[in-house]
Amino acid sequence: MAVREVAGIDGTSLVYRAFGSETAPVLVLLHGWAQSSRCWGDGVLDALARDFRVVAVDLRGHGYSQAPETGYADRKLWAGDLAAVLAAENVSGTNPAVLLGWSYGGLVICDYLAEHGAEAVAGLVLVGAITSIGRGEKGGRVGASMRAAIPAAMSEDPKEAVRALGSFGNALTGPVEDSALLEGKGAVSQALFGASLSTPPRVRAALFDRAVGNDDLLAGLDVPVLLLHGDADSVVDVSAAHHAASLLRRATTSIWEGVDHGPFVEDPDRFASEVGEFARAATAEAATREDRQQGSMEG
């Protein structure tokens, strides 16, 4: 594993971790609201790193990345953050990456696509993701756990925040019962809760202080997209995935029965298998397309 740092277009320090071969196809993982790159778990990262150069990013304001005072409503900054990471990993039109966004990470991917297009993108994976945000946006419909956590989850009052984030955290793992505790799920739940609590309250609040729709952007995309969502997701309603599927030209939908907001926590082996299969196909297709274009130019 390599820990690297790049600067966003406003100078914000962004930290990410890279796993796997330097020459493998790139798979970029973007976490959700009030989380960090550690949310994925070592098992998922190790499994995906067998075939890919896995790049797990700490979004601005989260994890080890810098938390500037302002700018969280500016899509140019979010887009610039991802563009800086891709440039550092030599991602380009001739070496495209698969981008995976969980929850709020899906919105960050849309920010990037809106500003930079999909030339350097082999495919997308949207996991329990929002693609828009704001009142009435079908691509950003939240579930009961998210609604219940707001606004207390943004509070600077420790008692309010701990109570709200603790309740919200259960949605990331699904029910933590005795049998699950024996399997280490309780420890994972605590780690995710800790990441939420360590995200500054002002950042937690600022990420929701924006409104943007991306329906037209999704309708115009011509890359393969995997929509992976739990049908019991209480943070981002599963209707957000169905809405995206209705717009996208090349969508594959995987709806997990009885699963809440963290499918990679509830079944990491299945998650790594489905994501890996999709990403391999997407990168192979992109390579074939590049070979054809190269041959046409030479001809």
User: Among residues of the chain, what percentage have pLDDT more than 90?
Assistant: 80
**Bigger pLDDT: 287 or 37?**
37
Q: What average pLDDT does this structure show over 169-190?
A: 66
Which residues have a Cβ under 8 Å from the Cβ of 108 and sit 6 or more positions away? Answer: 30, 59, 78, 81, 82, 101
Indicate the average pLDDT of the chain.
92
How far apart are the C-alpha atoms of 68 and 11, rounded to whole Å? Answer: 10
Is residue 298 pLDDT above 90, yes or no? no
Among 228, 193, 265, which residue's Cα sits nearest to residue 44?
265
249-275 per-position pLDDT tens digit: 999 999 999 999 999 998 999 999 999
Strands 13-19 and 26-30: unpaired
pLDDT at 28 over 80: yes
For residues 186 and 181, which has the higher predicted lDDT (pLDDT)? 186
Q: Label the pairing between strands 97-102 and 121-127.
A: parallel
**Which pair of tokens denotes residue 227?**
């929509």
Listed range (10-24, 64-78, 171-185, 280-294) with the worst mean pLDDT: 171-185
Cα distances (Å, whole numbers) of residue 211 to 72, 140, 153, 214: 11, 10, 19, 10
Give me 70's structure tokens. 């302002």
Number of Cβ atoms within 10 Å of the Cβ of 294: 11
Q: Name the burial class of residue 205, with classes exposed (0-12), middle (13-18) and buried (19+) by CB atoms within 10 angstroms of its CB.
A: middle
pLDDT confidence of 293, banded at 50, 70, 90?
low
